Structure 1
Amino acid sequence: MIEQLSQSYSCRRLTEADIPNVLALYESNPFYFQHCPPEPSLESVREDMQRLPDGKSESDKFFLGFWHDQDLVAVLDFVLAYPDEKTVFIGLFMLNQTYQGKGLGSQIVTEVLAYFSKNFQKARLAYVKGNSQSQGFWEKQGFKVVRDEIKQAHYTVVAMEKFLN
């Protein structure tokens, strides 16, 4: 399944051994972490790889890397059938800053959503309020706000959804 998510990049689950590469990708995006603390660390990457919503199991979660040769181009975290059976939840999508502004993030998301559309009716995510870069990116992908202002410990998020064809 995972290999079919992208026609352009090799894609696989990330492991403990990949944590330094993920941290380097995170560190290439300081703007994101201005809005979504804490600053990235080896431990925060490990936590992201393991974090699950209540009621979901490890078999429902995928923390993936998209690779071009030896370069980690993007990270995608998603949970199947959350918050309901018809929805796939995107917990994180981050593109290495080196690859930004070239349409590659949109290309990856388009391919991933096309794959998800085979089994799900919609995709859901949340961006951190005030992060205009994330808001603009997801709006460009066709996501619409479904709920404003969900308070978290250190920030507020805005939920968005997109119906998949």
Structure 2
Amino acid sequence: MKLATLQAELPNFKIRLLTLKDQAELMQLEQSNPEYHRYFSPEPLTVEEVQRDLTATPGEVATEQKQVFGFYLAHHLVAVLDVLNQYPQEQFLFIGLLMVNQAYQRKTVGKVIVTGLMQAALKSNVVCLQLTRVTADTGVKNFWEGLGFEDGDQLFLPLTHGDRLAVTTMFRPLK
């Protein structure tokens, strides 16, 4: 996904690609959503986890396929969108993470970002958006369903402390 294509669809935001230099800012955003982190670990969020959020990809995905977009309003990071281009198939875009700062939730920020992403994806010849959500998080399920996403398969992610987390894939065809 080209940054310019996404920026053109979302002119009210200043959007830029986040790097390891932005980890402190991303840490603050992620700390504003402690419930999300608790699904993955009983321990407090660490800098190492934030670094992984900025860099980690599934084994078969090249690092250049990953992009982490930061969305700014009045010079404040209000949301992050992590995507994998051409994953799991060539004309797909996988949403690894969409997180909105808690202070901006339920104010249409997430909906506006995803709607702009869908328009930018169409212009980039993407035919389907896909994501994986925590199955138990019904608020997230409702958010994505409200944007036309449908449930797919349920999977179980192994967690570092030995448990497994139930997740559900969701998809939305664009054409």
Pick the TM interval, shorter chain. Answer: over 0.9
Q: 1:39 to 1:153 in 2, by over 3 A?
A: farther
Q: Verify the 8 A CA contact 1:77 1:90 in the aligned structure 2.
A: yes
Deviation >6 Å, runs of 4+ = none
Residue of structure 2 equivalent to 1:4: 5
Amino acid at match of 2:38: Q
Deviation track 1:106-140 (CA, whole Å, cap 9, x = no partner) reads: 00110011101121110000001101121111111
Post-superposition offset of 1:55: 2.1
Query: What SS is found at the alignment partner of 1:44?
Result: helix
Q: How does 1:53-72 map to 2 (within 5 A)?
A: 53-72=58-77
Structure 2: runs of 5+ lacking an equivalent: 160-164
Q: 1:159 to 1:24 in 2, by over 3 A?
A: same
Q: 1:21 to 1:147 in 2, by over 3 A?
A: same
Residue of structure 1 equivalent to 2:137: 131
Structure 1: runs of 5+ lacking an equivalent: none
Residue of structure 1 equivalent to 2:162: none
**Number of aligned residue pairs:** 164
Post-superposition offset of 1:33: 1.6
Residue of structure 2 equivalent to 1:77: 82
Post-superposition offset of 1:153: 1.0
Post-superposition offset of 1:104: 1.2
Q: How does 1:137-148 map to 2 (within 5 A)?
A: 137-148=143-154
Residue of structure 2 equivalent to 1:51: 56
Amino acid at match of 1:108: I
Residue of structure 1 equivalent to 2:23: 19
Query: What SS is found at the alignment partner of 2:158?
Result: coil
Give the TM-score, by structure 2 length: 0.89
CA distance in 1: counterparts of 2:132 and 2:51, whole angstroms: 20
Q: Verify the 8 A CA contact 1:122 1:161 in the aligned structure 2.
A: yes
Amino acid at match of 1:125: L
Q: How big is the alpha-carbon RMSD for the aligned residues of Structure 1 and Structure 2?
A: 1.3
Query: Which of the residues 154, 162, 168 maps onto 1:158?
Result: 168
Give the TM-score, by structure 1 length: 0.94
Single out whichever of 27-36 and 84-93 deviates more from structure 2.
27-36
Matched-pair identity in %: 32
Amino acid at match of 2:80: V
Single out whichever of 84-93 and 26-35 deviates more from structure 2.
26-35
CA distance in 2: counterparts of 1:151 and 1:42, whole angstroms: 25
